Amino acid sequence: MKTNLLSAWILAGLVFLSGCKDDNPTPEPEPEEPEYVVLKGDLSTQTLTADNKYLLEGLVFVRSGQTLTIQPGTVIAGEKKSKGTLVIDRGGKLIAKGESDKPIVFTSNQAVGDRDRGDWGGLVLLGKARVNLDSPSIEGIGGNVIYGGTDDNDSSGELEYIRVEFAGIELTPNNETNGITLGAVGRGTKFEHIQVSYGGDDGIEWFGGSVNGKYLIVFGTWDDCFDIDNGFSGNLQFGLSVRYPSYADQSDSNGFEWDTDGQDNPDRFKTTVTVSNFTVLGPSIDGNSLSGNYKFGTDLRRNVAASLYNSVVVGFPTAIRLNQSSVFPNYTDGTGQFANNVYYGKTATIASGSNVAVSAIAAYLAGNDNIVEAGNEFQTKAAYEALGLKADQFFGKRLNTEYPAHPDFALTTGTLAQGARFDYPRFSEENRSNQFDKTVTFRGAFGATDWTKGWSHFDPIKIEY
């Protein structure tokens, strides 16, 4: 009887306790917010906002008739494993207008310290302007994505205050993208205040087109800094490139590499880009060791007729090369012009890849107000500072992560601080006369104002986005 009574009391207690409500329950954990909003496939017209981070998964397209708008301060990462790449197709538009204190950043999705060149595919813009190819398509993207047309005034959108970091991946064997690839982009596109850092191929490459550009930076890239091909006819002013001594491509790494086409075809219309006020810094300083893959400050190839003015190109083994025999006649007949530039080479001033005598090229350059020098005495801190260039602008002997995040490029003294000229006939031509700031007095990219301040960054390996 006692046992049965005790059991009854226990059972009643358990029933009572089971009906009690816990006044302090343990809260359910909040679901974690995803690190990225994923972008993939074909995008419809939309706006990316700075309060999200975005991930490009595979090939991401903005097709004809669609517009992708990106707010200032937005971060977009390319996924490494899927070779994330943003392609603005012919007829599509990218409106990416950052601000001087809120740049738009395209970068790698790898962790701080693990990012490297070629982590993702980069930014590809395709337009309807002229290009001297029969069937133009971008390497590695596929034949159904073509570019080019007859509208040199075409617009692919507006790009301002943008950084592109760790891009340029091999999409298919031997087909790499660049940091930024521009295929037949028209002059209706705005392309200003652009920095490409740690690219796995070229920094910026133009395939035809007519887009104008200002305030362009290529930093620590693998292959060429500014690669121009296939009849590009735009105007570029104020550009900077800086190179690391050991990082260079086996295909030869140059400051400028300019061609009319890949076959030296005399029937193709020529590349006639006009460039002014660029500072192209190779890695040579004070006898430091360079990769043997570094070659030319400027390599003019295959019937090119480009023009360069008021610029400085220093720190490469050879200052300038005119390669095929088709090149030099375009300068002696005035189709293109190199004038009022400063070239310092490490071992040679001029190279000729054809039967044109180096002495003839030297006479042309001297007769067009160029300064061209070579030798170890022109690769020293003292020589560069006499020009007005600060020694810490050069990678020189620095390690990969030792370049200052915000170097000072302002220039107030030295040879480059004065002497700019805009009285050459090219600056009066249609579609060029109003595209250049002719009030500047300095040669190279900088005067007393450093236009890289606020929006650029030269140590993106360490940034926590």
pTM over 0.85: yes
Which pLDDT does position 270 carry in this prediction? 98
| Residue appearing with tokens 């070629």 | 118
The pLDDT, as a whole number, for residue 289 is: 84
* H-helix or E-strand spanning residue 287: none
Q: Is the Cβ–Cβ distance between 184 and 130 less than 8 Å?
A: yes
Tell me what pLDDT residue 31 has. Answer: 54
Calculate the alpha carbon distances from 199 to 121, 142, 178, 186, 256 in Å: 10, 21, 7, 24, 15
Question: What are the angstrom distances between the C-alpha of 286 and each of 290, 396, 403?
Answer: 11, 8, 17
State the alpha helices, DSSP H only, in 233-388. Answer: 329-332, 358-367, 381-387
CB distance 322 to 343 below 8 Å:
no
Task: State the Cα–Cα distance between residues 110 and 463, nearest whole angstrom.
Answer: 11
Q: Which two tokens stand for residue 423?
A: 């009285």
Q: In the chain, how long is the greatest CA-to-CA distance? A: 124
For residue 12, the surrounding DSSP H or E stretch is helix 2-18
On the CB side of 320, how many CA atoms lie within 13 Å of its CA?
24
**What's the confidence (pLDDT) of residue 30?**
59
| pLDDT averaged per 10 residues, the chain (length 465) | 44 46 59 82 98 98 98 98 97 99 98 94 98 87 85 99 95 82 98 97 97 98 94 98 83 91 94 98 88 89 98 94 95 97 94 92 97 94 94 68 86 95 94 93 97 96 92
Q: CA triplet 97, 113, 249: central angle to 5 degrees?
A: 80
Q: What is the pLDDT of residue 50?
A: 98
Contact 306, 271 (CB under 8 A): yes
Q: Can you tell me whether residue 140 is helix, strand or coil?
A: coil
Q: Measure Cα distances from 399 to 57, 200, 305 in Å.
A: 32, 18, 38
- Cβ density class 313-338: b for 16+ within 10 Å, e for less: bbbbbbbbbbbbebbbebbeeeebbb
Question: Among residues 240, 257, 205, 230, which one has the least CA distance to residue 130?
Answer: 230
Q: What is the pLDDT of residue 195?
A: 99
β-strands 170-172, 175-176: how paired?
antiparallel
Q: What is the pLDDT of residue 354?
A: 85
